[in-house]
């Protein structure tokens, strides 16, 4: 195998694969990426047996061949090479790889390509076409609510489904950790059958989000009972799904919160940030006290330090005093984009809903904390 390639192109592709590589090294071959050179095209593959990425890039192939190389070492070497350089890679027997760039030369041990796992690319599931920008936004607005508790493994990912709403097909992503819930939907033009909900693992979501942030093109999503595949230009991103039942999130979303607080998003965010300065892990609660057109934010920590701030607001509902985890409320407000947002409350102990006035497909729910 022998090929020449631009450092900038090569490094970008390696960075896509790097996050997938098995860092635990349960099998030595999984610390490697597969490099295949053929017909002026390079195919690079990475897998941890749950997630796989295959990416094709153009280059000058002087001799066909394939081998596997330690991903971290190759990534670190290429990262330190000048961006405008051309890289030459040679592997004569698959056991040793030589990399040359400028005046540098590296000889690296390889493992045979025959040892690398075969990646299943079968896409016989249901296909959906979607803009990469839309999918990125759907993920970006919901991923923060994914649970980290491994005991409730079915919450360790985003729920993805397609349903009919008012004769329209709506893709919906939902994340929840039991304390907060994020739901975001988007109407699609395709006339497809209802897709039963699947749970996409957290690692998949975060690695996919990195890829989508760089790309602006139409992608194809193929969904089957045990895996999901994203065809993103020259990239194929494959992931197993979480085998479990996601809770009925619709039952969690209140429909009778009649007290409506309308407030400038930036003003609320800044005030919560200031007051929560003294909050900590032992006392993370920030209290919202709603009076006629006044919102008082206050907190006290375990060392008896206090903070308080009054905001003038548009509110004429019931008098309510309710507490929230300060980080959770900031996460939600940060992800809303309207200049003015709405927070709907029922009483002192029921979950609230946070909404954008311009987008009825985005919903956040937050459970209160005891005050």
Distance, CA of 66 to CA of 1 (rounded, Å)? 6
Q: How many domains does the chain have?
A: 3
Q: What is the pLDDT of residues 201-214, one digit of tens each?
A: 999 999 999 999 99
Asked, for residue 312, whether it belongs to a domain, the answer is yes
DSSP letter for each residue of 113-177: GGGSPPP-----SEEEEEEHHHHHHHHHTTGGG----GGGGGGSEEEEEEEEETTEEEEEEEEE-
Asked, for residue 306, whether it belongs to a domain, the answer is yes
Q: What is the pLDDT of residue 236?
A: 97
Q: Of the residues 199, 223, 249, which one is the last residue of a structural domain?
A: 249
Neighbours of 192 (CB within 10 A): 13
Q: Phi first, then psi: what are they for 150, rounded to 5°?
A: -70, -20
Q: 156 near 246, Cβ under 8 Å?
A: no
Tell me, yes or no, whether 184 and 263 share the same domain. no
Asked, for residue 121, whether it belongs to a domain, the answer is no
Q: 136 near 212, Cβ under 8 Å?
A: yes
| Domain interval for residue 38 | 2-115
Q: What is the pLDDT of residue 259?
A: 96
Distance, CA of 263 to CA of 314 (rounded, Å)? 7
Q: 343 near 363, Cβ under 8 Å?
A: no
Asked, for residue 371, whether it belongs to a domain, the answer is no
Q: What is the pLDDT of residue 303?
A: 85
Tell me, yes or no, whether 6 and 87 share the same domain. yes
Asked, for residue 254, whether it belongs to a domain, the answer is no
Asked, for residue 322, whether it belongs to a domain, the answer is yes
Q: What is the pLDDT of residue 26?
A: 77
| pLDDT classification of 193: cutoffs 50, 70, 90 | low
Tell me, yes or no, whether 227 and 131 share the same domain. yes
Tell me, yes or no, whether 98 and 134 share the same domain. no
Q: What percent of the chain has pLDDT over 90?
A: 86
Q: What is the pLDDT of residue 194?
A: 66
Tell me, yes or no, whether 159 and 52 share the same domain. no
Q: Phi first, then psi: what are they for 290, rounded to 5°?
A: -100, 120
Write out the H or E segment, with its range, that includes residue 194: none
218 to 134, 212, 215, 242: CA distances (angstroms): 10, 11, 9, 26
What does the block give as tokens for 40? 């002026």
| pLDDT classification of 23: cutoffs 50, 70, 90 | confident
Q: What is the pLDDT of residue 281?
A: 81
What does the block give as tokens for 355? 């909404």
Q: Of the residues 249, 269, 297, which one is the last residue of a structural domain?
A: 249
pLDDT at 25 over 80: no
Q: 80 near 236, Cβ under 8 Å?
A: no
Average pLDDT over residues 315-321: 94
Distance, CA of 222 to CA of 158 (rounded, Å)? 16
Q: What is the pLDDT of residue 241?
A: 97
Helix (H, G, I), strand (E, B), or coil: what is residue 198?
Answer: strand
Q: What is the pLDDT of residue 220?
A: 95
Q: What is the pLDDT of residues 44-81, one digit of tens each?
A: 999 999 999 999 999 999 999 999 999 999 999 999 99
Helix (H, G, I), strand (E, B), or coil: what is residue 274?
Answer: helix
Tell me, yes or no, whether 236 and 282 share the same domain. no
Model pTM greater than 0.85? Answer: yes
- Dihedral angle computed from the Cα positions of residues 268, 271, 275 and 277, in that order, rounded to the nearest 10 degrees: 100
pLDDT at 144 over 70: yes
Tell me, yes or no, whether 243 and 271 share the same domain. no
Tell me, yes or no, whether 267 and 329 share the same domain. yes
Q: What is the pLDDT of residue 282?
A: 83
**Which residue in 155, 158, 178, 183 sits closest to 325, CA to CA?**
178
Query: Residue 333 belongs to a domain with what CATH number?
Result: 3.10.150.10
Tell me, yes or no, whether 168 and 109 share the same domain. no
Asked, for residue 120, whether it belongs to a domain, the answer is no
Q: Of the residues 180, 215, 249, which one is the last residue of a structural domain?
A: 249
Tell me, yes or no, whether 54 and 12 share the same domain. yes
Tell me, yes or no, whether 264 and 241 share the same domain. no
Tell me, yes or no, whether 163 and 109 share the same domain. no
| pLDDT classification of 121: cutoffs 50, 70, 90 | confident
Q: 311 near 268, Cβ under 8 Å?
A: yes
Asked, for residue 321, whether it belongs to a domain, the answer is yes
Helix (H, G, I), strand (E, B), or coil: what is residue 349?
Answer: coil
Tell me the pLDDT of the chain averaged across its residues.
93
């Amino acid at each position: 195998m022998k090929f020449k390639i631009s450092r900038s192109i090569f490094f970008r592709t390696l960075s896509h694969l790097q996050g997938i590589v098995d860092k635990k090294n349960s099998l030595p071959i999984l610390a490697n990426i597969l490099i295949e050179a053929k017909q002026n095209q390079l195919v690079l593959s990475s897998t941890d047996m749950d997630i796989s990425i295959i990416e094709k890039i153009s280059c000058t192939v002087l001799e066909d061949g394939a081998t596997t190389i330690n991903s971290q070492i190759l990534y670190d070497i290429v990262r330190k090479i000048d961006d405008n350089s051309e890289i030459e890679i040679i592997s004569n027997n698959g056991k040793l790889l030589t990399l040359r760039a400028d005046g540098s030369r590296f000889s690296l041990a390889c493992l045979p390509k025959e040892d690398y796992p075969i990646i299943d690319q079968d896409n016989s599931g249901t296909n959906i076409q979607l803009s990469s920008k839309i999918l990125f936004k759907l993920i970006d607005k919901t991923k923060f609510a994914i649970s980290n508790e491994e005991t409730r493994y079915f919450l360790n990912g985003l729920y993805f489904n397609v349903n009919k709403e008012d004769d329209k097909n709506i893709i919906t992503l939902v994340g929840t950790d039991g304390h907060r819930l994020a739901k975001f939907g988007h109407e699609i033009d395709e006339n497809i059958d209802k897709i039963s909900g699947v749970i996409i693992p957290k690692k998949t979501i975060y690695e996919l989000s990195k890829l989508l942030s760089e790309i602006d093109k139409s992608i194809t999503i193929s969904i089957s009972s045990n895996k999901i595949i994203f065809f993103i230009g020259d990239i194929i991103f494959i992931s197993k799904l979480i085998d479990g039942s996601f809770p009925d999130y619709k039952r969690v979303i209140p429909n009778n919160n009649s007290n409506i607080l309308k407030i400038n998003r930036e003003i609320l965010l800044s005030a919560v940030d200031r007051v929560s300065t003294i909050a900590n892990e032992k006392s993370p609660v920030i209290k919202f006290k709603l009076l006629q057109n006044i919102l008082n934010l206050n907190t006290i920590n375990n060392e008896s330090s206090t903070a308080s701030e009054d905001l003038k607001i548009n509110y004429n509902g019931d008098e309510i005093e309710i507490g929230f985890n300060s980080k959770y409320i900031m996460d939600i407000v940060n992800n809303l984009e309207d200049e003015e947002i709405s927070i709907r409350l029922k009483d002192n102990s029921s979950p609230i809903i946070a909404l954008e006035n311009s987008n009825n497909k985005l919903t956040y729910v937050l459970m209160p904390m005891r005050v």
